Amino acid sequence: MTQVRLKRLGLLGGMGPSATLDVLQKIVELTDANTDQQHLPIIVWNLPQIPDRTASLVGGGASPAPLLAAGARGLRQAGADYISIACNTAHHWYDVIRAASCLPVIHIADTAIEALAGVEVRRGQVAIMATAGTIASGFYQSRLLRAGYIPLLPHRSVQDEAVSGAIAHAKAGRWPEAVRAVSHGVEHVVARGADAVLLACTELPLLVRGLQPHVPMIDANRALAHACIRHAGARQRADPVMAQEPTGR
């Protein structure tokens, strides 16, 4: 049989390392392959030393743009055909990455909002659980509005303590604390009327296994994995957990 030439993915990661591994794991899991050769060829640029994206956007920290651009160029020089970014907040610099790489770059927010089309969002209210930097950048809000949804954000105190707190705990490897914090955040946005919850930080999908919020939860990592497989030209497995469906009201 003739082997189909799959496009080579360049994965810009390290922000953080566990989130990058989660995206990689989901790409492997969701690829419909019977042999090693049918899986995606992937080049991973895993650089945790890229400056903190949220600190740059809301805290006056160093810009990650130079190292994001260097990573994009490195992936192109290593032979990548297209790029995905294993960090939601880094998409604030999407145009910088695309210009530096001169390659197609998948946008995680576009893939996550495509996934929303497959679930019931009765009143159209979609909660965004993300870093303060992603919220400040606004690219999820603008895309949700264009798609006909109503963005719903956590109250500031919940954002700081539950959402940003969960992400910080996860990055530090304090998993029980992270799970408790994100559970509080999900309960808060559901109580405020969210019809769906968009997990728009690559750490958050690691923390919600076992939660039963009674509304769909969209895993942006999983949506990104699907898009990477499609772009490579590989086959995808059927995915009943693309969105975690409600367990009842």
Query: Are 9-107+223-244 and 109-219 in the same CATH fold?
Result: yes
pLDDT tens profile 177-189: 999 999 999 999 9
Reported residue count of the chain is: 249
For 130, the 3-state DSSP assignment is coil
Residues 6+ positions from 195 with CB-CB distance below 8 Å: 120, 121, 122, 123, 124, 125, 126, 215, 216
Domain boundaries, the chain: 9-107+223-244, 109-219
Give how far the C-alpha of residue 156 lies from the chain's centroid of Cα atoms, to the nearest Å: 22
Check residue 247 and give its pLDDT. Answer: 39
pLDDT digit string, tens, across residues 109-139: 999 999 998 887 877 999 999 999 999 999 9
Tell whether the torsion through CA atoms of 238, 242, 248 and 249 is positive or negative: negative
Give, rounded to a whole angstrom, the gap between the first and last alpha carbons of the chain.
51
- Tokens 């210009």 correspond to what residue? 99
CATH class assigned to 109-219: alpha beta
Interacting residues of 49 by C-beta distance below 8 A, sequence separation 6+: 14, 67
Report pLDDT digits (tens) over 189-209: 999 999 999 999 999 999 987
Task: Please report the pLDDT score of residue 242 as a whole number.
Answer: 64
Question: What residues in the chain have per-residue pLDDT under 50?
Answer: 1-2, 243-249
Q: Is the pTM of this model over 0.75?
A: yes
Fold of 9-107+223-244: Rossmann fold (3.40.50)
The pair phi, psi for residue 165, each rounded to 5°, is -65, -45
Q: How far is CA 2 from the centre of its chain?
A: 34
